[in-house]
């Protein structure tokens, strides 16, 4: 079983899509291990998107991520990293197929509603960046035998 970090970026909150998007991860069978609403600081945004430093869209991306509240979630389950990326769709909303979060609700490359860790290694790093240990919860899902 894996854990992964998902962010519902400021456009998701502003567009009132938090429930809609969260429901998709929930219904897939993933278990919620962490959840909070964050006003992201420039410092946290820089750490989170450090790999993109130097790219032409870097400054714009930081401005976007700090422009309003973001919901941070940790989802847990079988192949959680890849499963979440599949549910999200591709980076560019315009190129994402219908049925995916970005395919259904995003048209932009930058304002694409969600972030998801892209590897198990980065998931561990990102979860530690966004959550304290005591903010993460472990519980036995009562439907575990039916889901995974
Ligand atoms: P994340 O889950 O947010 O990391 O998205 P991703 O892995 O699908 O994309 P990537 O890591 O390559 O880029 C990080 C974020 O930067 C994207 O989600 C977009 O919000 C933004 N971004 C990526 N490419 C561009 C671009 O060409 N222009 C602009 N303005 N933003 C971009
Ligand atoms: Mg990425």
Residue with token string 């894996």: 2
Domain with 124 in it: 2-131
How many Å apart are CA 148 and CA 135, to the nearest integer?
Answer: 24
Q: What is the pLDDT of residue 39?
A: 98
Q: What is the pTM of this model?
A: 0.96
Would you say the CB of residue 115 lies under 6 angstroms from ligand 1?
yes
Let me know if residue 147 belongs to a domain.
no
How many Å apart are CA 66 and CA 123, to the nearest integer?
Answer: 21
Let me know if residue 80 belongs to a domain.
yes
Mean pLDDT, consecutive 10-residue stretches, the chain (148 aa), reads 98 98 97 98 98 97 98 98 98 98 98 98 98 93 86
Residue 115 designated active-site: yes
Counting ligands in written order, which one lies closest to the CA of residue 4?
1
| CATH number of the domain residue 68 falls in | 3.30.70.141
Let me know if residue 53 belongs to a domain.
yes
Domain total of the chain:
1
Let me know if residue 142 belongs to a domain.
no
CB count in 10 Å sphere of residue 132: 8
- Residue 1 C-alpha to ligand 2 middle, in angstroms? 21
Would you say the CB of residue 116 lies under 6 angstroms from ligand 1?
yes
How many Å apart are CA 13 and CA 71, to the nearest integer?
Answer: 8
User: To test the ligand 1 pocket, which listed residue (96, 110, 111, 116) has its Cβ within 8 A of the most ligand atoms?
Assistant: 110
Let me know if residue 49 belongs to a domain.
yes
Q: Interface pTM (ipTM) of the complex?
A: 0.95
Q: What is the pLDDT of residue 142?
A: 86
Let me know if residue 143 belongs to a domain.
no
Let me know if residue 139 belongs to a domain.
no
Let me know if residue 148 belongs to a domain.
no
Nearest-CA residue for ligand 1 atom 6 is: 91
Q: What is the pLDDT of residue 52?
A: 97
**C-beta of residue 16 within 8 angstroms of C-beta of residue 137:** no
């Amino acid at each position: 079983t894996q854990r992964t970090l998902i962010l519902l970026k400021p456009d998701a909150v502003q567009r009132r899509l938090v429930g809609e998007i969260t429901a998709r991860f929930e219904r897939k069978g993933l278990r919620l291990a962490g959840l909070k609403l964050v006003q992201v600081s420039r410092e946290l945004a820089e750490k989170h998107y450090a790999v993109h430093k130097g790219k032409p869209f870097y400054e714009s991306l930081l401005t976007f991520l700090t422009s309003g509240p973001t919901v941070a979630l940790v989802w847990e389950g079988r192949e959680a990293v890849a499963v979440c990326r599949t549910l999200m769709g591709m980076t560019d909303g315009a190129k994402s197929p219908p049925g995916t979060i970005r395919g259904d609700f995003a048209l932009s490359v930058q304002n694409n509603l969600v972030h998801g860790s892209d590897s198990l290694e980065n998931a561990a790093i990102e979860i530690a960046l966004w959550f304290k240990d005591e903010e993460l919860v472990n519980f036995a899902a009562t439907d575990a035998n039916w889901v995974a």
